[in-house]
Amino acid sequence: QKEVEQDPGPLSVPEGAIVSLNCTYSNSAFQYFMWYRQYSRKGPELLMYTYSSGNKEDGRFTAQVDKSSKYISLFIRDSQPSDSATYLCAFSNSGGYQKVTFGTGTKLQVIP
Amino acid sequence: SAVISQKPSRDICQRGTSLTIQCQVDSQVTMMFWYRQQPGQSLTLIATANQGSEATYESGFVIDKFPISRPNLTFSTLTVSNMSPEDSSIYLCSVEDTTSHEQFFGPGTRLTVL
């Protein structure tokens, strides 16, 4: 079983749609949960960062963590063409050395 | 958040040669990381570079192939040695915010080996 599973997509949605991106993980030691956005030919950009179960909201983005199910989600409301990118989930253990384990990324296209 | 720059942004190299990638951060950081991102794959950690000590390499990566320097708290280099086409990838450096533990990434170096 892979440590992190993420559907690679591509996912194509019309502008204004609600997007749901998901990852599952198997490592119970993961305590920090992140979502990165990566535009073509750019480095990953941190979008959301949380270390607990539940929801965290930032503008149009909501990150959801369910530790009991080892499942995390990113919701994008009122999606825009500028949201078209690859979204990577990422995980790390607690402690001073934060080795980050990434998913393979889901490619999202928002069609105007 | 830290601002990270990398040089070169891209390069095309011949088999058997070496390329050194530079990573510059706009603030002092303790830990810097080097990742590889191959097409269609997730980011893979190559090594962790602390200033003043030898880099720590992940399984599958060795110092002879990927020597790293970390001369001060704002700069690091990664060399890809004796390159083969399998080394074609995007190489990214990142830094960790020691308070929040968030990681921030540079724009990456796109390497193509012919």
In B56-85, the residues whose Cβ lies within 8 Å of chain A are: none
A4 touches chain B (CB under 8 A): yes
d(CA A21, CA B108): 24
d(CA A40, CA B83): 25
Would you call B105 and A105 a contact, using CB atoms and an 8 Å cutoff? Answer: no
Does pLDDT of A30 surpass 60?
A: yes
Summarize pLDDT for A59-89 with one digit per residue, the tens: 999 999 999 999 999 999 999 999 999 999 9
A40 touches chain B (CB under 8 A): no
d(CA A23, CA A91): 10
Mean pLDDT, residues B66-91 taken together: 96
Q: Among A79, A97, A101, A87, which residue's Cα sits nearest to residue A15?
A: A79
Give the helix ranges, DSSP H, for chain B.
none
Would you call B106 and A104 a contact, using CB atoms and an 8 Å cutoff? Answer: no
Percentage of residues of chain A with pLDDT beyond 90:
71
Output the six-digit token pair for A79: 């999606």
Chain mean pLDDT for chain A: 91
Does pLDDT of B105 surpass 60?
A: yes
Would you call B42 and A32 a contact, using CB atoms and an 8 Å cutoff? Answer: no
d(CA A54, CA A3): 21
Would you call B43 and A44 a contact, using CB atoms and an 8 Å cutoff? Answer: yes
Q: Among B113, B103, B112, which residue's Cα sits nearest to residue B4?
A: B103
Summarize pLDDT for B20-53 with one digit per residue, the tens: 999 999 999 888 999 999 987 889 999 999 888 8
Does pLDDT of A94 surpass 80?
A: no
Output the six-digit token pair for A54: 């539940």
Q: Which residues of B touch A103 (CB under 8 A)?
A: 42
Does pLDDT of B1 surpass 80?
A: no
**Do residues B91 and B80 make contact, with C-beta atoms less than 8 angstroms apart?**
yes
Chain mean pLDDT for chain B: 92
d(CA A83, CA A55): 20
Does pLDDT of A99 surpass 90?
A: no
Confidence of residue A7 (pLDDT cuts 50, 70, 90): confident
